[in-house]
Amino acid sequence: MSKSVSLRSGRTFATVTAAKEHFSRILDDREIKQQFGEDDLADIRAVYDDHCARTGWELKSLPASFYPTYDRGPGYTTRCFGVTYEDGTTGSFSMDKALRAIAA
């Protein structure tokens, strides 16, 4: 049975796959480090906040902005969502993992 995704922003998706496709288009439509606009920001923030709440992820500082970035490691580079926190620190997160965590 497919799991649905409902965001606190009011947007819903019938399946996790539909949600992933939606956010992939948003990610691909922006240049690296270009902050997301208000139209997309509410949904991205809702996923991030719901994921943190669902997984018990403790935030030391609240997110201030989101933007496309690259996550790099040994043998891979992937485009993902970056976050800058109010205290000036930065990080990244996997939208796929976040959506799977909050799906009902």
8: amino acid identity, one letter: R
CATH classification of the domain holding 10: 3.10.450.40
Angle at alpha carbon of residue 32, lines to 29 and 36, rounded to 5°: 55
Cα gap 35→38, rounded to integer Å: 9
* Phi, psi for 21 (deg, rounded to 5): -60, -40
Q: What is the pLDDT of residue 95?
A: 95
For residue 71, what are the domain limits? 5-102
By the 8 A CB rule, do 59 and 45 touch?
no
Tens-digit pLDDT profile for the chain (104 aa)?
Answer: 689 999 988 999 999 999 999 999 999 999 999 999 988 999 999 999 999 999 998 888 999 999 999 998 899 899 999 999 999 999 998 999 999 999 98
Q: What is the pLDDT of residue 1?
A: 66
Q: How many domains does the chain have?
A: 1
Cα gap 98→25, rounded to integer Å: 16
Q: What is the pLDDT of residue 52?
A: 92
Helix 95-102, helix 38-55: angle, nearest 10? 60
By the 8 A CB rule, do 77 and 70 touch?
yes
